Structure 1
Amino acid sequence: MIRLIPDGLLSPPPLRVDGASVFIRPGQPRDWKQWADLREASREFLVPWEPTWPPDALTREAFARRLRRQAGEWREDEAYSFLTFEQGSEQVVGGIGLTNVRRGVAQMASMGYWVGRPFARRGFTSEAVRLLLSFAFGQLGLHRVEAACLPTNQPSSGVLEKVGFTREGYARAYLRINDKWADHVLYAILRDDWAAGRGQ
């Protein structure tokens, strides 16, 4: 099993992956206020595309629980969560991560991301996806990364196709989004695609 942090560590490592406009790194307790303010300001923008938010979703305590859970996921090679920051200002602009890491004969994971309303359509998400893929295929040694989006989410489909994902199928009632089971379009990219320069 790949372990990027040792047993007993309470937060993910101080890992940072840099791009031209953004960088990604695991969330830290000091990020709570920026994260919560951006999520609150973007609530109406994000709710149609995400699982239902619990009542305490944006509290400091909920953020601390989130970080503890993420640290455990890093330790167990189960999932890898990052926040996305604008270079220079170091403002939180969104989040991105890998979940459901499968080893053995699969060597794959699922990717998800979000971006705050003020930072949408500025290329930040596409760059964050490229950074995450470099981490997934490089440090984690994965073979395949999958992603899914609602059929009506054209901006997300555009991001995935721009960075080299291939549309592979259509899944009915795939995930529960905004408290309803929703169909999704399925995408994937292979390490060989990435190595060949697709979307880079």
Structure 2
Amino acid sequence: MFALPFFRRDQPVLKGEKVALRVPLPGDHREWSTLRGESRAFLERWEPRWTPDELERSAWRHRIGRYREDYAQGTAVALFIFERSSGKLAGGITLGNIRHGVAQSGHIGYWIGERYAGKGLMTDAVKVLAGFAFDTLKLHRIEAACIPDNIRSIRVLEKAGFQREGLLRSYLRINGAWQDHYLYARIADDPPASATKG
């Protein structure tokens, strides 16, 4: 079981310089659906195809239930990203596919609202979550994948200390089409992100 008091109101859970990360709560639906809705055109080309009820409360309840189940099973930790200066929801980040034993690894995925892009929030969030993965969960390796022409995402990962390891052909079905992805990874004993690329 994870060591933090998730799914209670002890929030925020994790803090960076610019962001605070905590688990999504049922009452977050309105702020989440508003941010996702206004950012739809910005997000869709990088995500799995949205369902017709993507932003509805019923789909939200299902999503929250899945987050709780994954957390209880120790396979994923889903967090919302809040801008510390305003307290507003800015995006989301997940550490998923968590494996222990000989693998000791996980995979990071993330999204950010269009109005918060380019402010360094996601780089800070990735660094904070990487610290949690290595220090609290004792993982050895965390991975992330991004579409080769997603320059913003590549910049985030490289600033957060991830190294490109290769190309995964036809890796994920994004917005209705199979897409190649670059594979990035960071290892627990890699130099801190501040000692790599600024």
Cα distance, 1:63 vs structure 2: 1.1
2:133 aligned with 1:136, yes or no? Answer: yes
TM-score (ref. length: structure 1): 0.92
* Cα distance in 1 for residues equivalent to 2:16 and 2:95: 18
Which of these residues, 90, 93, 102, is aligned with residue 87 of structure 2? Answer: 90
| Matched AA of 1:97 | T
Match runs of 1:66-85 below 5 Å: 66-85=63-82
Partner residue, 1:197: 192
Cα distance, 1:60 vs structure 2: 1.4
Cα distance, 1:62 vs structure 2: 1.1
Gaps of 5+ in 1: none
* Cα distance in 2 for residues equivalent to 1:182 and 1:171: 9
Q: Do 1:93 and 1:116's aligned partners in 2 also have CA atoms closer than 8 Å?
A: yes
Partner residue, 2:43: 46
Q: Do 1:3 and 1:76's aligned partners in 2 also have CA atoms closer than 8 Å?
A: no
Equivalent position SS for 1:164: coil
| Matched AA of 1:183 | D
Partner residue, 1:12: 7
Which of these residues, 176, 181, 184, is aligned with residue 173 of structure 2? Answer: 176
CA deviation vs aligned residue, 1:110-132 (integer Å, no higher than 9, x gap): 10011000000000000010111
* Cα distance in 1 for residues equivalent to 2:132 and 2:90: 19
Q: Do 1:17 and 1:25's aligned partners in 2 also have CA atoms closer than 8 Å?
A: yes
Cα distance, 1:199 vs structure 2: 3.6
| Matched AA of 2:43 | L
CA deviation vs aligned residue, 1:131-182 (integer Å, no higher than 9, x gap): 1111111111110000000000011000100111010000110000001100
Partner residue, 1:55: 52
Equivalent position SS for 2:180: strand
Q: Do 1:5 and 1:75's aligned partners in 2 also have CA atoms closer than 8 Å?
A: no
* Cα distance in 2 for residues equivalent to 1:5 and 1:55: 34
| Matched AA of 2:79 | F
Which of these residues, 103, 113, 130, is aligned with residue 106 of structure 1? Answer: 103
2:20 aligned with 1:23, yes or no? Answer: yes
* Cα distance in 2 for residues equivalent to 1:104 and 1:92: 35
* Cα distance in 2 for residues equivalent to 1:165 and 1:88: 26
| Matched AA of 2:87 | E
Partner residue, 2:150: 153
* Cα distance in 2 for residues equivalent to 1:57 and 1:5: 29
> Identity over the aligned pairs, expressed in percent?
44
Q: Do 1:5 and 1:12's aligned partners in 2 also have CA atoms closer than 8 Å?
A: no
Q: Do 1:165 and 1:187's aligned partners in 2 also have CA atoms closer than 8 Å?
A: yes
* Cα distance in 2 for residues equivalent to 1:124 and 1:114: 11
Equivalent position SS for 2:30: helix
